[in-house]
Amino acid sequence: MLNGNMNKWIFYILLTLFLIIAPLIITGRYPQHIMVMCGIWVIASLALNLILGYTGQLNLAHGTFFGIGAYATALLVQKAGFSFWAALPLGCGITAVFGFLTGLPTLRTKGHYFPIATMCLGIAIYYVIARWEDLTGGARGLFGLPRPDPIPLPFGVVISFESTVACYYLVLFFVFVTILILSRLVKSLAGVRLLAVRGNEDLAQSLGINTMQAKVLSFTLSTLFAGLAGGLFGAYMGTLMAEQAHYLLSFELLINVMIGGVGTLAGPIIGGILLPILGEILQPLAGFRLILYGLVLILVIQFLPLGIAGGWRAAGMYWSQRRGRK
Amino acid sequence: MSEILLKVEGVTKDFGGLRAIQDLEFQIPKGKIFSIIGPNGSGKTTMFNLITGFLPVTEGEILFKGEKITGLKPYEISRKGIGRTFQLTTLFGNHTVLQNLIISQQATREAGLVSSMFGLNSARQAEKKALKRAHELAEFIGLGQQKMALAGALPQGAQKQLSIGLALAANPELMLLDEPAGGVNLEEVGVLIDLITRIRDSGVTICLIEHKMSMVMNISDRILALNYGKKVTEGNPTEVGRNEQVIKSYLGDKYAAARRSG
């Protein structure tokens, strides 16, 4: 047991070190750009996993909240003149308020109605963003968004975010923050309460758990982190299009979580890194790529219900059992 | 008569045109095992759902420790101190026995979100305590050897033990057990009888719905017999077992014959 934990910690430390020195090894601008994008998708996928994997509520508007966070942060910077460092938390807050207000009515529904309600919500908000020209620039989108403001340090040193590598470290920092907070939460008693809601709502209620409150809290927190990913996306890319709030984005994030491993800690990280890279590699296939995704998704759901992370764990248990028998 | 824990006053429940419970009145004394018997469809489980707030009452009032609980939500009633099990054994099947017993504790429903998110000391202390208590509960319900087993993979009897353990973990003063011995073999029934009496002896009042008459007659302090949502009779096991109407409508002629010859 102790040995296993030691190995795990060594693995985590090595992985962290690798992620920190990665831009020194992978030097091309294009691969570095992909790395930044992966970081942003990892944050958004981790957030989706909180409500989907740990609370059992299939939110089909997750991409919409990503878009709300992106637009809120960008508009605060561009139109209200806020510093990015004030706009980002405010943008997350605005997204969370949206999440809270939409969660209150939609989370009352049971069974398939929550996914249907959130999907309708996502489509509606997408059209608001795509048509509200005065605020969002409509179909043209927002252009010329500045990178995060430089952070002055003592002795005249300034951290600027003009380079891709600097943005990589910025995103990596928020990836770590997200992982630390969410992994801590799901292992705590408050996280266990979410598992109770996922497991059986009637049973949870009979045990004194306010299931509605648990769902709303989880949903609000999940949208907050989706907003964080969106805010980072806008500042990094410099442009925002209505596509960033499109419901297809919700499905892409859903695929990340499903293939990586729903309800596991590593799952959204694996999915958030693997699928964007796969997407880039398969770019020449264009639309056929989606057919391949569909096929992979069917295979994963059929044979690896807990995705790659679950499959990995099962394989590990199988091998340790075999070794035990010998 | 001892102190009254739960009072059901003139409760009626209609499902559309069907009257499932009709002007029912009874009291559960503190510290006893109180059983509700009756043929299928006589309103036993409906009564549980009314007490625990899973169904609204049509008329009447239910008082717990002198306080009106009708109209409260299920989780609020649970927090007042009424635990329950379900007729179809209900567990967190994808989690281990130990995890099930952590999920069910009072500390879990009260854990703060912020202190949990940032791993504050108060949250970590509460987790340690909950884990310790889960180990104790697992031993108490007789699943000390299966702590790491998946709840959904346990045999029927062990699942029944665990479902009682879940209700117990939430610190109730009154536990409503809906057919705790349904679909369980004779040997396992003995284990359950022992568990239920030990819970009663620890000071928790039990209300039991059960079809296994040997079990009901054996452990009940008081029995309420229902038929078509109405009270047939109420009393101690001997009195109820002698009641002609109970024998006719529920226990059957064989039981009556056995009684007469025995």
Q: How many alpha carbons fall within 13 Å on the CB side of residue A203? A: 30
For the record, the structure tokens of A96 come out as: 């969370």
Do the chains contact at A185 and B126, CB–CB below 8 Å? no
Under 8 Å CB pairs connecting chains A and B tally to 109
Of B222, B220, B246, B219, nearest to B233 (Cα)?
Answer: B246
Q: Give the per-residue pLDDT at A2.
A: 46
Is the distance from CB of B234 to CB of B1 less than 8 angstroms? Answer: no
Measure in Å the smallest separation between the Cα of B71 and chain A Cα atoms: 15
Predicted TM-score (pTM) of the model is 0.90
Helix (H, G, I), strand (E, B) or coil at A192: helix
Query: What mean pLDDT is predicted for residues B232-240?
Result: 89
Q: What is the pLDDT of residues B133-155, one digit of tens each?
A: 999 999 999 999 999 999 999 99
Instruction: Closest CB to B170: pick one of A181, A190, A207.
Output: A207
Q: What is the CA radius of gyration of chain B?
A: 19
Domain B4-92+156-261, what architecture?
A: 3-Layer(aba) Sandwich (3.40)
Give the single-character DSSP code of B225.
E
Residues 6+ apart with CB under 8 A from B261: none
Round to whole Å and give the CA distance between B63 and B75: 16
Round to whole Å and give the CA distance between A40 and A31: 14
Give the single-character DSSP code of B248.
I
Provide the 10 A C-beta neighbour count for residue A244: 25
Q: For B88, phi and psi rounded to 5 degrees?
A: -85, 115
Round to whole Å and give the CA distance between A132 and A139: 9
For the record, the structure tokens of B255 come out as: 């039981």
Q: Which amino acid is at A142?
A: L
User: How far does Cα A28 stand from its chain's mean position?
Assistant: 25
For the record, the structure tokens of A129 come out as: 């963003």
Domain boundaries, chain B: 4-92+156-261
Q: Give the per-residue pLDDT at A1.
A: 39
Round to whole Å and give the CA distance between A60 and A228: 18
Query: What mean pLDDT is predicted for residues A281-285?
Result: 84
Do the chains contact at B107 and A189, CB–CB below 8 Å? yes
Mean pLDDT, chain A, integer: 90
* Strands, E assignment, B163-242: 174-178, 205-209, 222-227, 230-235
A185 contacts in chain B (CB < 8 Å):
113, 116-117
Of B65, B26, B32, B52, nearest to B224 (Cα)?
Answer: B26
What confidence tier does B1 reach under pLDDT thresholds 50, 70, 90? low
Q: Tell me the residues of B at the A interface, defined by beta carbons under 8 Å apart.
A: 52, 54, 73-75, 78-79, 83-84, 86, 90-95, 99, 102-109, 111-113, 116-119, 123, 126-127, 130, 166-167, 169-170
Terminal-residue alpha carbon distance, chain A: 19
Q: Which amino acid is at A17?
A: L
For the record, the structure tokens of B24 come out as: 């029912």
Distances, alpha carbon B210 to alpha carbons B177, B183, B213, B218, B231, in Å: 8, 11, 7, 12, 16
For the record, the structure tokens of B80 come out as: 């007042």
Round to whole Å and give the CA distance between A228 and A72: 10
Measure in Å the smallest separation between the Cα of A203 and chain B Cα atoms: 7
Mutate one of B72, B75, B133 to test the A interface: name it (highest A CB count within 10 A): B75
Q: What is the pLDDT of residues A15-24, one digit of tens each?
A: 889 999 888 8
Of B47, B52, B85, B55, nearest to B69 (Cα)?
Answer: B52
**How would you class B188 by CB atoms within 10 Å of its CB: exposed for 0-12, middle for 13-18, buried for 19 or more?**
middle
Round to whole Å and give the CA distance between B200 and B198: 5
Helices (H) and strands (E) in chain A, counts: 14, 2
Q: What is the pLDDT of residues A126-161, one digit of tens each?
A: 999 999 988 888 888 888 888 888 888 878 778 888
Chain B CA closest to residue A189: B108
Chain A CA closest to residue B167: A207
Round to whole Å and give the CA distance between A250 and A123: 10
Chain A CA closest to residue B129: A189
Query: What mean pLDDT is predicted for residues A213-221?
Result: 96
